[in-house]
Amino acid sequence: MKKTMILLAILLIALTACETRVVMEQPGVQPTNAISVQGSSEFDVAPDLAKVRFRIETLSPTAQDSQLRNREIGASVKSALINAGVRESEIETTDYRIEKVQEWDPQYNKMIEKGYRTSNAFVVTTKDLPKVGPLLDVGVQAGANNVESISFELSDDKQKEVKTEALTKATKNAREKADALANGAGVRLGKVLSLQESSYFVAPVARYDMMAMKSEMAGGVPSTDVSPASVHVSAQVSVSYEIG
């Protein structure tokens, strides 16, 4: 019985190895000759949106005191930003945590408790790009002790407009490539057989040179000058053309 099972297994393996696939052409359907190309576009566009990421950190012996101090500073920063023209809807909390702080003490060869740190991070979004520098100063002077980053981006409306432009340019680029190939091969370019978006990418510009700006630096310092950088856009499409 055991020998029979082994022989059957060997036979099945042999049949699988010898399997042949035959692809039959459909009757009455002529094979289509085609050229497939990829078109691309890349360009820079001026941003119409900025995001400033602030963080407030407080360290106290107790969690309650740390949280209370952080709340007070946060309210002061938020009030100052609103007075500077920022709407409440443009301020969004992105991170909030309370954690015990411990440090290694080499003298006693053990971890020493340093208290509790409360960390509150929030993002201010604005379309008024010339105000980014002044808002940065307002937040720091009101008590935000870290500026994590500033990024320049595209709003949803601008994003739609730019995507249409990028895909249009990429499709035209594909047509130019297909024309060149067809001319070189001595064939005629026909109708589009398939067309699809391969990729679309927008690279927001983030600046981290403002990171860890301390509140004590705000006093007596001239207004911060922040110049928006261009946003890089790229797109790619795949197109197949009939040739004859």
Q: Residue 110: pLDDT band by 50, 70, 90 thresholds?
A: confident
Q: Residue 21: pLDDT band by 50, 70, 90 thresholds?
A: very low
Establish if 39 belongs to a structural domain. no
Q: Quote the CA–CA distance of 234 and 220 in Å, as a whole number.
A: 43
Determine the structural domain holding residue 134 and report its residue range.
47-154+205-227
Higher pLDDT, 233 or 229: 233
Q: What is the CATH number of the domain that holds 139?
A: 3.30.70.2970
Establish if 149 belongs to a structural domain. yes
Establish if 86 belongs to a structural domain. yes
> For the ranges 6-10, 49-53, 130-134, which has the lowest average pLDDT?
6-10
Establish if 97 belongs to a structural domain. yes
Establish if 140 belongs to a structural domain. yes
The whole-number pLDDT of residue 160 equals 96
Please give the average per-residue pLDDT across 84-109, as a whole number: 93
Establish if 160 belongs to a structural domain. no
* Digit-coded pLDDT (tens) for 166-201: 999 999 999 999 999 999 999 999 999 999 999 999
Establish if 189 belongs to a structural domain. no
Given a cut of 90, whether residue 28 has pLDDT beyond it is no
The whole-number pLDDT of residue 108 equals 82
Structural domain tally of the chain? Answer: 1
Establish if 104 belongs to a structural domain. yes
The whole-number pLDDT of residue 223 equals 63
Model's pTM, two decimal places? 0.72
